Amino acid sequence: MPSPHETPSAASPPPVRDRGDIDPRGTKRDRSWPPAPEPLPVPVIDNHCHLDFADGDEQLSVHDHVARAAAVGVDAQITIGSDLEAVRWTAALLASAERPASLRGGVAVHPNEAALHARGRDHEGRELVGLDAAISEVSELLRGPGMIVVGETGLDWFRTSRKDERARAAQFDSFRAHIALAKELDLPLQIHDRDAHRDVLEVLDADGAPERTVLHCFSGDAEFARACADRGWFLSFAGTVTFKNAQPLREALGEVGLGQVMVETDAPFLTPVPYRGRPNSSYLIPLTMATIAEVTGTTLEQACRTIRTTTQDVYGWPVGGAA
Ligand SMILES: [Zn+2]
Ligand SMILES: [Zn+2]
């Protein structure tokens, strides 16, 4: 296996957009990169981040993110492209000769994007292709190199009103199309569920969930966690599990235990405590892992080992190489 510290031969493509473009607090936030935490005793995989976003006072390349992650024992990453621009960027990165060996990805039309495609315009009023066209482009690109997951899809009643009939219908249509796509391609499915637990359950139960279904950035309580775990799905915890007001989330984690759990950053968002609001990157996962170990009453080493094995089983990657 190549050393993760190997210097890349060429610069990686620059991110497509700045987080500040979509985050109104962008200019007021502390945009300095948090210091690196203590390295993990056993390496884990960040199964959900967005490398297409730039953040921070110092611009990091894809290879910078990968190197910083590897230095603290996050030795593999899955980057997710969730609007059409990011989908194309992610596909190009994964297909390029410069793709780090420790990087794979997935693409989908994010639920909030599905609503925009149905409307035909983005937030700036620019014209967008229809939802069907967007999904067929995703379907095409998912067949390219380095793609190991369909995601993120699902339902979001936080940023898109469920009372907007067209938007709601678009989210349901898009979710169902991605469920079918995951089955067709025999890939795992990553679900985005924001304020939509019950509807997510209903759709998955009605259509039949793909064999490998992951609730990314799990945000439910213990009861919802149990419902998901009983169906054989996986819960991926982000930095939110470290937040002070996230007791229900820690109870959810305590409810399911380590067996069906994974870890992610959703970087550059959701930076774990004590660096909330600052830029996030895979190298900050040790902070989230510390909370996961504490809540599940295991050693950090055991928590890392179990999560690594689960993640490898679900994605079929990285092959071997378990610590
Ligand atoms: Zn999400
Ligand atoms: Zn995400």
**Ligand number, closest to the Cα atom of 90:** 2
Distance in Å, CA 256 to ligand 2 centroid:
22
* More confident: 168 or 162: 168
Runs of H (alpha helix) within the chain: 62-71, 84-95, 111-119, 131-141, 165-185, 197-207, 222-230, 247-256, 285-296, 300-315
Q: What is the pLDDT of residue 26?
A: 54
CA atoms of 190 and 226, how far apart (whole Å): 18
Q: What is the pLDDT of residues 69-97, one digit of tens each?
A: 999 999 999 999 999 999 999 999 999 99
| Cβ pair 106, 68 in contact under 8 A | no
The domains located in the chain, with CATH, are 28-315 (3.20.20.140)
Distance in Å, CA 268 to ligand 2 centroid:
9
**Ligand number, closest to the Cα atom of 191:** 1
Name every residue whose Cβ is closer than 8 Å to that of residue 304 and which is 6 or more positions away in sequence: 40, 41, 42, 43, 44, 73, 289, 293, 323
CA atoms of 264 and 48, how far apart (whole Å): 5
Average confidence (pLDDT) over 289-314 = 98
Structure tokens at 128: 């967008």
Is the pLDDT at 231 greater than 50? The verdict is yes
Q: Please name the amino acid found at residue 150.
A: V
Q: What is the pLDDT of residues 94-149, one digit of tens each?
A: 999 989 999 999 999 999 999 999 999 998 999 999 999 999 999 999 999 999 99
Structure tokens at 224: 């919802």
Q: What is the pLDDT of residue 14?
A: 73
What are the Cα distances from residue 322, in Å, to 14, 75, 138, 144, 283?
31, 11, 31, 26, 19
Q: What is the pLDDT of residues 165-175, one digit of tens each?
A: 999 999 999 99
What are the Cα distances from residue 149, in Å, to 25, 138, 139?
31, 12, 11
Distance in Å, CA 7 to ligand 1 centroid:
31
Distance in Å, CA 87 to ligand 1 centroid:
14
What value does the mean pLDDT of the chain take?
Answer: 93
| Cβ pair 314, 307 in contact under 8 A | no
Distance in Å, CA 217 to ligand 1 centroid:
6
Q: What is the pLDDT of residues 247-290, one digit of tens each?
A: 999 999 999 999 999 999 999 999 999 999 999 999 999 999 99
Distance in Å, CA 50 to ligand 2 centroid:
6
Average confidence (pLDDT) over 32-49 = 98
Confidence of residue 10 (pLDDT cuts 50, 70, 90): very low
Q: What is the pLDDT of residue 17?
A: 80
* More confident: 262 or 319: 262
Q: How many CB atoms sit inside 10 A of residue 312's CB? A: 17
Is the pLDDT at 61 greater than 80? The verdict is yes
Distance in Å, CA 234 to ligand 1 centroid:
15
| Cβ pair 213, 186 in contact under 8 A | no
Is the pLDDT at 322 greater than 70? The verdict is no
Distance in Å, CA 166 to ligand 2 centroid:
23
Distance in Å, CA 152 to ligand 2 centroid:
7
| Cβ pair 83, 112 in contact under 8 A | no
Confidence of residue 234 (pLDDT cuts 50, 70, 90): very high
Distance in Å, CA 49 to ligand 2 centroid:
6
| Cβ pair 276, 262 in contact under 8 A | no
Structure tokens at 157: 């009643």
Confidence of residue 320 (pLDDT cuts 50, 70, 90): low
Q: What is the pLDDT of residues 43-55, one digit of tens each?
A: 999 999 999 999 9
**Ligand number, closest to the Cα atom of 154:** 1
Distance in Å, CA 41 to ligand 2 centroid:
26
Report residue 54: phi and psi, to 5°. -95, 145
Task: Report the percent of the chain where pLDDT is more than 70.
Answer: 93
Q: What is the pLDDT of residue 29?
A: 86
Q: What is the pLDDT of residue 162?
A: 84
| Cβ pair 157, 194 in contact under 8 A | yes
Distance in Å, CA 57 to ligand 1 centroid:
24
Structure tokens at 221: 């309580």
Distance in Å, CA 79 to ligand 2 centroid:
9
**Ligand number, closest to the Cα atom of 112:** 1
Q: What is the pLDDT of residue 24?
A: 62
Q: What is the pLDDT of residue 143?
A: 98
| Cβ pair 15, 61 in contact under 8 A | no
Name every residue whose Cβ is closer than 8 Å to that of residue 102 and which is 6 or more positions away in sequence: 4, 66, 70, 75, 76, 77, 318
